[in-house]
Amino acid sequence: MDNGSLSSLRRWVLPAAAIVLLAARGLAQDAPVHIPSARGTTLAGNEMALPNSLNGKIGVLVVGFSRASGEQVADWGRLIEAQYGQSRDLTYFEIPMLAGTPKVLRGMVVKQMSSTVPGPERAHFVPLTEDDKPWRAVAHYDQADDAYVLVVNGGGALLWRTEGEATDMAWAEFKAKLNGLLAAPAAR
């Protein structure tokens, strides 16, 4: 190829490639992130399937990936129950991920959870034993001992997320976001 042809090729190929890359990047940013489909049984004995169990409502999923995250998950759950437990526009679940727990111990772990979770909260408590890698990706998992709070629409599309303790600042940010979503029916 001579210099003229190479120069002509660069003049057309490079801008075309840049346009294709920018278009693909824009499409990737527009695609909503969804929670994985999952099935489980609440500690109250009710079968549930996500995202179907959200019933078209805003969902708050407080996910824990380790035993040490349990206290943070419980703190978020108590605050959510106290503030939003009677809301007809919201469904929430506390979700301990047990995929890393040896199968022979899972029954014992769930039984222990049942004995420590107060009766009224059991309907919102769903241990999941499926592969947790997709959940880690959605949560942006990076700290084993943190609670991961995922706010999703009724179809399971992620609207907002945070992680860590339910500090006053984190709770205020969560409430502001959630109240805005609950006030906007299109978000559901």
How many structural domains does the chain have? Answer: 2
**Ramachandran quadrant class, 45 (left: phi over 0; alpha: psi -120 to 50; beta: rest):** left
Same domain, 169 and 104: yes
The range of the structural domain enclosing residue 3 comes to 1-31
Q: Which tokens belong to 7? A: 């120069």
Most confident of 119-123, 127-131, 170-174: 170-174
Nearest 5°: the CA angle 91, 187, 130 is 45
pLDDT given for residue 124 in this prediction: 93
Residues 4 and 54 in one domain: no
Q: Are residues 48 and 21 in the same domain?
A: no
Residues 20 and 106 in one domain: no
Query: Which of residues 109 and 165 earns the better pLDDT score?
Result: 165
Q: Is-contact 166 77, C-beta < 8 A?
A: no
Q: Which amino acid is at 111?
A: K
* Residue 5: pLDDT band with limits 50, 70, 90: low
Strand 158-163 and strand 147-152: the pairing is: antiparallel
CATH code, domain carrying 138: 3.40.30.10
Q: What mean pLDDT do residues 21-28 have?
A: 45
| pLDDT for 13 beyond 80 | no
10 & 69 share domain: no
Residue 159 has pLDDT above 70, yes or no: yes
pLDDT for residue 20: 44
Q: What's the CA dihedral at 112, 78, 159, 51 to 10 degrees?
A: 40
